[in-house]
Amino acid sequence: MRVLVTGGAGFIGSAVCRHFIVDLGYDVVVLDKMTYAGNLASLAPVASSPHYVFEKHDICDSASVNAIFAKYEPDAVVHLAAESHVDRSISGSDVFVQTNVIGTFTLLEAARSYLKTRKSAIDFRFIHVSTDEVYGSLGADGLFTETTPYDPSSPYSATKAASDHLAKAWHRTYGMPVIVSNCSNNYGPYHFPEKLIPLVILNALDRKTLPVYGDGSNVRDWLYVEDHARALGVILLKGVPGETYNIGGRNERKNLDVVEQICTWMDELRPANSSHHDLISFVTDRPGHDQRYAIDASKLENELGWRAQETFETGIEKTVRWYLDNAHWWEPLRHKVYGGERLGLVKA
């Protein structure tokens, strides 16, 4: 199996590459533009593998994408390349429309034209990796299922919703073997430090304030990134073309509880003069901040047999320990790429 992984130098993409190469023995071709979020250090564990190839290109560049399909003749595409940070989409949505919508369109068209001449007997699959944020916000009750209507709130989720519709249309109209997955919030090793969990760990380490948006009551359904990578492996092998699968870990937590749990681990692992809990600071809320996300993953669990292996408690301990042990990975990012400043406030 040779898999083209777009966005393979990103947080989830690199976990997918490590899982596919190390655990499943697949050949992986990474196609990545290397934006601020792309990091070859996240692929270091597989960089010397004969099963790994890296290609630096923009998924919006159709000539390059067509050439990659012709050169490597992949058996599957796992499409993760995207602009992924909601706060950045509020400050500047242009690149989100370009990469998430036009880039996905370009990739779908390249795959469609490649399939016209493809000779391999292996069934081709195109996995379009998306988010639960396309469903909008839940109230206190209920879960997102695969039939929940789309109702995106942010420029990020609106562009992901658009790309999901394109992917599904390419299945219905052209018969392309496309599968869409919608996953809840991921966390774990190699997470770019603009996102809540790594930001809080690194700020706590520096004894800086720990920003909590609004009153911290927003709920997210956390999934350990390696569980997501395993889910995509299962969907690739057993998923049915044209279907959508929700991926989630049944780990709903309020943002404030997540930050408190990290503080408790930091108090244990890096005790300081005062508790890390004292660094928590409530800051202006995100515009259009969705209140609650929660995934019903029973279709993926019952039909394809996937189960999350980590609880939030086991996953967050591993994650805090990983950041404490891997300063060589995050220090260059913290100093040169993103220093922890607030993003995504709408200026009057």
Catalytic positions, written as ranges: 132-133, 156
* 159 near ligand NAD (CB under 6 A): no
* 103 near ligand NAD (CB under 6 A): yes
- Positions 120 through 149 that interact with ligand NAD (CB under 6 A): 129-131
Binding to ligand NAD by CB under 6 A, coded x per residue (else -) over 181-220, reads --x-xx-----x----------------------------
Contact 227, 249 (CB under 8 A): yes
Contact 278, 266 (CB under 8 A): no
Residue (83 or 279) nearer to ligand NAD, CB:
83
Residue (229 or 266) nearer to ligand NAD, CB:
229
* 58 near ligand NAD (CB under 6 A): yes
Q: Minimal distance in Å, beta carbon 201 to ligand NAD? A: 16
* 233 near ligand NAD (CB under 6 A): no
Binding to ligand NAD by CB under 6 A, coded x per residue (else -) over 27-56, reads -----xxxx-xx------------------
Task: With contacts defined by CB under 6 A, name the span among 80-88, 108-116, 265-273, 317-325 that binds ligand NAD.
Answer: 80-88
* 315 near ligand NAD (CB under 6 A): no
Residue nearest to ligand NAD according to CB distances in the complex: 10
Cβ burial of 331 (10 Å; 0-12, 13-18, 19+) is exposed
Positions in the binding site for ligand NAD (CB under 6 A): 6-7, 9-13, 32-35, 37-38, 58-60, 80-84, 99, 103, 129-131, 160, 183, 185-186, 192
